[in-house]
Chains A and B, each alone.
Chain A
Amino acid sequence: MQIIGELAMREKFVVIGNGMAPGRVLENLLEVAPDRYEITIFNAEPRVNYDRIMLSPVLSGEREYEDIIIHSDDWYANHGITLHKNKPVIDINRQAQRVTALDGVTASYERLLIATGSNPIVIRISGYELPGVLCYRDLDDVNAMLAASEKGGRAVVIGGGLLGLEAAAGLHARGMQVSVIHLSDTLMDRQLDSAAGFLLQRAIEKRGIVVHTQANTRAIVGSNKVTAVELDDGTRIAADIVVMAVGIRPNTALAEAAGLAVNRGIVVDDSMRTSDERIFAVGECVEHRNQCYGLVAPLYEMAKVVAERLLDSETATYLGSTTSTKLKVTGIDLFSAGDFADGDDREEIVLRDAAKGIYKRLVLQNEKIVGVVLYGETRDGAWFFQQLRDASDVSAQRDSLIFGQSYAGGTQLDPTAAVAALADDSDICGCNGVCKGTILKAIGDRGLTSIEDVRSATKASSSCGSCTPLVEQLLMLSLGETYSPAAVQAMCPCTDKGHDEVRRLIIAKRLKSIPELMQQLEWQTSCGCAKCRPALNYYLLATWPGEYEDDEQSRFINERAHANIQKDGTFSVVPRMWGGITSPNELRAIVDVADKFSIPTVKVTGGQRIDLIGVKKEDLLAVWSDLNDAGMVSGHAYGKALRTVKTCVGTDWCRFGTQDSTGLGIRLEKHLWGAWTPHKIKLAVSGCPRNCAESTCKDVGVVCVDSGYEIHYGGAAGMELRETKVLCTVKTEQEVIEYCTALIQMYREQAHYLDRVHKWAARVGDKTINEQIVEDSQRRRELFQRFDIAQRTAQKDPWAEQAIGKHKHEFLPLVKFTKVAEEIM
């Protein structure tokens, strides 16, 4: 929750192209500085940003387009981004710093990002313009293929690379008769060696797809639509559609026309800038250090650098990437990386298991892995790839290397041993470039417990999903027995999202009401349940203070009635008694109220206050009104809120007191009261280490010492008994208030609803708390300020508000009838 700055002052940032690479730039950017730029996007495609790599599952019917949308229309709206769909940019005027789209719409920029992706290569043989000749690049292509496949018929795919094979498998799954025409003698020859290519070909043919290798297409035949494909050797293959998947070329025309340096792609330096300082480029359209990329992992690395540069980093650099490939055809396991051409100075290690259809090959040069091909069993892909990228010396384990990681250090039986042995910087998720260390850290620091949690925290396993088993093994490794892959850590049965994900999405999607949240996050019930609604109400309140309108009906009765319901349906009332100090006047008012309303029990509580128990609901308003008149306010004894600050007598009276514990307790309570928190929160201040206020079993406790104040947190004495941990020792009362407030705000922003401070602390880790509250003074002050902003609307006595009638309906029966009892009972 950053305070929104001067809107008018925002710099103009224009993006050309709305594919996966710029999408990631925006995510990275908005996460840090949601309001820094006024963003305008032009996209040639008539739609939002979607996961292009998932087009193949859409084609084969395993997914729907809706499933692969990355940013919905609402996302753009919520972030205040202008998205021009179906508006290709045709001109960049660098002098005027303005771009113009085909229909004349213009936008000026201070910073520009070119992300035009690449174009599929079309071989201009005779007949290439006939209806029925398609490419495979975007959703329109998929839709055209789907339309054609509805009638069944024959498809010819030109190109036996990754895209061609995915298209072929998809069309075959849709019921077409499919042939693949491939120029070289093995499929995917750019990624596979001939042995693996051969195995792949067999697997493809076994499905009923015909493969022609060493085949060059001479012409596409047809008069007003395609009817066949003719090969160099004269073979004719009948076709209702032809899909050309022979490669891609960076889409540089626009940049070239604008006079930017262009080679094969748009040339960028390590800061991702083009030859014009104001213009960045990212994605497949880019050429960096003579290299163009056609996979998302490197594009995401570029995107990170672009975002950091947009945030004025002087140091963020992109240094190039090593890539690996997987084929997304269900039932075929294939992994390849690096270079596996034969050579005099190269040696290879090969493992084949014909019965199981397994083929593995490592190419070594100077005792280092330079190429990996795995077919039929790709479990060790990540491990080999890591050693390849690190250029590790593998001579010591040469003999067992090919058997994979399991054998690397002797025998292993534990399925997680393999992933345990991976280095921290091993890539787990290739699509999103997330390494093992990042995932483990996220699991540990943020208490992640499910694959969904990991996806939302790190993006690992959120794209093609092929690393899901590895991520699950990491979860198993970190959580041991407690992790069972099937366990859904959902908030409640109304959703399969966990608390963290919901909290994250409230911010990311700028969700500001419960109905909106339930719609956007696909709640599975019409209006939630008694478990999720109070949690959502709190999360929204804590995220958008002053803006979110509290939903009374999503609060437990105690918080609606500002009193504790008793077993007989009556209520108990606890007025606040600051720091446990009261006065004859207050006591008199309490006695009067007890008399006037015939309150049966008056009890001294364990929290140093007085509880009036057994008040009829109808009397609550009048009881409060009388207590208000005597200057007392609600004690929130009923709320997920600040309860009590217990104190001892301290220097005022006690012969051992080192500081004014009573006074400090009162000041703390006056500062903190009224704030809503994930669970109730209790404080105490003791005047010396004898600790008479029991500070060491409170959510936040202070123990005064000669030299100042020892701040404690994470204690509890309820269902679980917890001793506090020491956060730090400070010198002044003002510091105590600042540190405690910042800690409580951090808890408010991060905890799961109904987790006490100690549970939250166990989840995020004491180290993180220490870093953010003690070491990072800037952050501490920001937390402190955010708390104070929230208090502006929260610190109001609910009794005063309600006693004047805001929620009168809550306290009175709709109507009262008098009837003869026997008639009814």
Chain B
Amino acid sequence: MIEATFEWVDIGGLSEIPPRGSRQVKVDNYAIAIFRTADDRVYAIEDRCPHLGGPLSQGIVHGTAVTCPLHSWVISVESGKVLGSDTDCVRTIPVRKDNGRILLRFPFYSEQVA
């Protein structure tokens, strides 16, 4: 795993994401889904369903999970895990709230080991 120089980047205000909703952050062709839950917690995961690549930012958000719009896999936005599966998961990305702003930590590097 390569460590990069992490910096927190302001990506927008909390109010720009509807509660129980999501917005995309694009880094070139790489897409990150930022989720806002009903109780205003914020999570970020890679915007790619481990099933067949569905855009998770387009799914219905419930609790701390999102249902993929293509074939309805349910993914925890908190842990990135596919619910009901022990193996499948999506990468999570560090994100935090600060004074109504959302900060994302990137650039990040691939953690691929294999």
Contact = CB atoms under 8 A, between A and B. Distances in A.
A553 interface: yes
Interface stretch (A90-98, A267-275, A811-819): A811-819
Interface string B74-114: 10000000000000000000000000000000111110000
A815 B12 contact: yes
A534 interface: yes
Contacts of A561: 58
A350 interface: no
A530 B60 contact: yes
The B interface is mostly helix, strand or loop, or mixed, namely loop
A813 B21 CA distance: 13
A824 interface: yes
A527 interface: yes
Interface string A804-825: 0000010001111111010111
Given A527-B20, A815-B11, A533 B25 contact: no
A754 interface: no
Contacts of B72: 530
B59 A814 contact: no
B50 interface: no
A553 B61 CA distance: 8
A809 B23 CA distance: 8
Contacts of A809: 16-18, 23
A207 interface: no
Contact of B28 (A525, A567, A824): A824
Contact of A819 (B11, B61, B63, B107): B107
Interface residues on B, range: 35 or more
Contact of A813 (B23, B38, B62): B23
B67 A529 contact: yes
A205 interface: no
A528 B62 contact: yes
B41 to A, nearest CB: 12
B30 A569 contact: no
A527 B38 contact: yes
A814 B16 contact: yes
A552 interface: yes
Contact of A816 (B26, B39, B59, B107): B26
A565 interface: yes
Contacts of B54: 569
B1 interface: no
Contacts of B26: 813, 815-817
A78 to B, nearest CB: 24
Contacts of B27: 816-819, 824
Contact of B17 (A525, A568, A814, A825): A814
Given A553-B19, A815-B12, A825 B67 contact: no
A565 B23 contact: no
A814 B67 contact: no
B60 A553 contact: yes
Given A525-B62, A525-B63, A526-B38, A814 B20 contact: no
Nearest to B10: A815
B74 A530 contact: yes
A527 B63 contact: yes
Nearest to B39: A526
A544 interface: no
B60 A556 contact: yes
A83 B47 CA distance: 53
A817 B26 CA distance: 6
Given A569-B54, A821-B28, A552 B18 contact: yes
Interface string B5-35: 0000101100011111101111111110010
Contacts of A824: 27-28, 30, 106-110
A818 B27 CA distance: 5
A554 interface: yes
Contacts of B70: 565, 567
A813 B16 CA distance: 11
A639 to B, nearest CB: 14
A565 B58 contact: yes
A358 interface: no
Contacts of B30: 821, 824-825
A557 B18 CA distance: 14
A530 B38 CA distance: 14
A645 B39 CA distance: 43
Contacts of B23: 809, 813-814
A821 B12 contact: no
A530 B109 contact: no
Interface string B39-65: 100000000000011110011111100
Contact of A557 (B19, B25, B59, B108): B59
Nearest to A529: B62
A3 to B, nearest CB: 33
A565 B34 contact: no
B10 to A, nearest CB: 9
Contacts of A529: 60, 62-63, 67, 74
Most A CB within 10 A of own CB, among B18, B19, B52, B62: B62
A525 B18 CA distance: 20
A534 to B, nearest CB: 7
Most B CB within 10 A of own CB, among A528, A530, A815: A815
A818 B28 contact: yes
Nearest to B104: A815
Contacts of A818: 27-28
B28 A530 contact: no
A823 B11 contact: no
A425 to B, nearest CB: 47
A810 to B, nearest CB: 9
A815 B34 CA distance: 11
Most A CB within 10 A of own CB, among B4, B31, B55, B60: B60
Interface in A515-530: 525-530
Nearest to A818: B28
A716 to B, nearest CB: 22
A526 B61 CA distance: 12
A528 B60 CA distance: 10
Contacts of B12: 814-815
A565 B69 contact: yes
B58 A557 contact: yes
A527 to B, nearest CB: 5
Nearest to B109: A823
Nearest to B38: A527
22 contacts: A526-B63, A527-B20, A527-B63, A528-B62, A529-B60, A529-B74, A530-B59, A530-B60, A534-B60, A553-B20, A554-B60, A557-B69, A561-B58, A813-B31, A815-B12, A815-B26, A816-B25, A816-B27, A817-B9, A823-B107, A824-B28, A824-B30
Given A526-B38, A567-B70, A813-B23, 8 more contacts: A530-B74, A569-B54, A809-B18, A814-B12, A814-B24, A816-B27, A818-B28, A821-B29
The 10 closest A-B pairs by CB, nearest first: A530-B67, A814-B23, A530-B60, A557-B58, A553-B20, A569-B55, A813-B24, A816-B26, A557-B69, A817-B27
